């Protein structure tokens, strides 16, 4: 089946930043990854999956593991969902290598985060993003998350990057709807909320959807929210936003990967433990997660 693409929703409306399953020895579990990807697409209704992102513990996986994961997920769901490979690092040359590797492994697009830790100036961001976009034939989703990268992609930088033929979208976790709204008004970039609770506000200023974390559990309801808003049924969209708010926010009570993996275990879909420096969820955190899932009716 051919994947449907349009400029406003180049990767669909609802995507999940997928966790990476590990086996009992801590190694990559490709069978579990395919099963999780199938569940997220076929049962949770996700239009796309981001693999090898931060939620996928990319700082702890090797280049080989990243390639194998992309290939496994693409094999499982690549005919009915967009597979977007996280390739961003704080090293432009390494990011280029990962982008080229992801294309060979079967990814449909790349996610490129702002180079972190070294805090390059905006000129450096322009150079970095353009170099990665030039490195292969895949469309690019930029990832603007200054809370983690320590540097925001400035509005003028986004406006400039929008002219690149392969830079088509932004995963926006900046929390600045004024800036994002201006870029959406002046360019064709598709904006996906990178912060689950801001999905509806992002839609209200022109957003296309969400790359979520809680969508491991809320994918279908979140898609209903987006579709309700787009057909002008704001009341239904707002009701769903308010219903899902406990888990939209609660999934980040500690690092999101930790609680997603704990929640999947509770639901009988265990995907193994986290790799250090992450740690397992505490009993207190799990009890609150259960309450948030129940309150959100998912």
User: Of residues 66, 171, 223, 261, which has the active-site annotation?
Assistant: 171
Q: What count of Cα atoms within 13 Å lies in the side-chain half-sphere of residue 87?
A: 36
Residue 284: name the closest of 292, 272, 276, 275 by CA.
Answer: 292
User: Of residues 143, 174, 223, 261, which has the active-site annotation?
Assistant: 143
Residue 214: name the closest of 175, 263, 169 by CA.
Answer: 263
Active site residue 171: yes
Active site residue 143: yes
Bridge partners (DSSP) of residue 142 are 112, 170
Instruction: Please list the active-site residues.
Output: 143, 171
């Amino acid at each position: 089946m051919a994947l449907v693409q349009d400029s406003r929703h180049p990767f669909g409306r609802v995507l999940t930043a997928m966790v990476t399953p590990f086996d009992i020895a801590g190694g990559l579990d490709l069978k579990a990854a395919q099963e999780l990807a199938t569940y997220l697409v076929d049962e949770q209704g996700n239009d796309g999956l981001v693999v090898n992102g931060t939620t996928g513990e990319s700082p702890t996986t090797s280049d080989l593991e990243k390639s194998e994961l992309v290939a496994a997920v693409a094999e499982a769901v690549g005919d009915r969902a967009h597979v977007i490979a996280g390739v961003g690092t704080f090293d432009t040359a390494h990011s280029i290598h990962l982008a080229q590797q992801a294309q060979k492994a079967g990814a449909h697009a790349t996610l490129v985060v702002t180079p972190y830790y070294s805090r390059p100036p905006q000129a450096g961001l322009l150079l970095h993003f353009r170099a990665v976009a030039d490195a292969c034939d895949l469309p690019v989703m930029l990832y603007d998350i200054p809370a983690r990268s320590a540097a925001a992609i400035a509005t003028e930088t986004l406006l400039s990057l929008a002219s690149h033929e392969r830079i088509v979208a932004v995963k926006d976790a900046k929390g600045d709807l004024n800036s994002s709204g201006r870029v959406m008004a002046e360019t064709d970039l598709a904006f996906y909320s990178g912060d689950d609770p801001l999905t509806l506000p992002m839609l209200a200023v022109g957003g296309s959807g969400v790359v979520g974390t809680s969508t491991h559990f809320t994918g279908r309801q979140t898609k209903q929210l987006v579709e309700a808003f787009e057909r002008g049924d704001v009341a239904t969209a707002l009701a769903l936003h308010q219903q899902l708010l406990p888990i939209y926010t609660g999934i980040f009570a500690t690092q999101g990967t930790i609680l997603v993996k704990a929640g999947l275990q509770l639901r009988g879909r265990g995907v193994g433990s986290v790799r250090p420096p992450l740690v397992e969820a505490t009993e207190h955190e799990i009890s609150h997660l259960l309450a948030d899932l129940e309150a959100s009716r998912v």
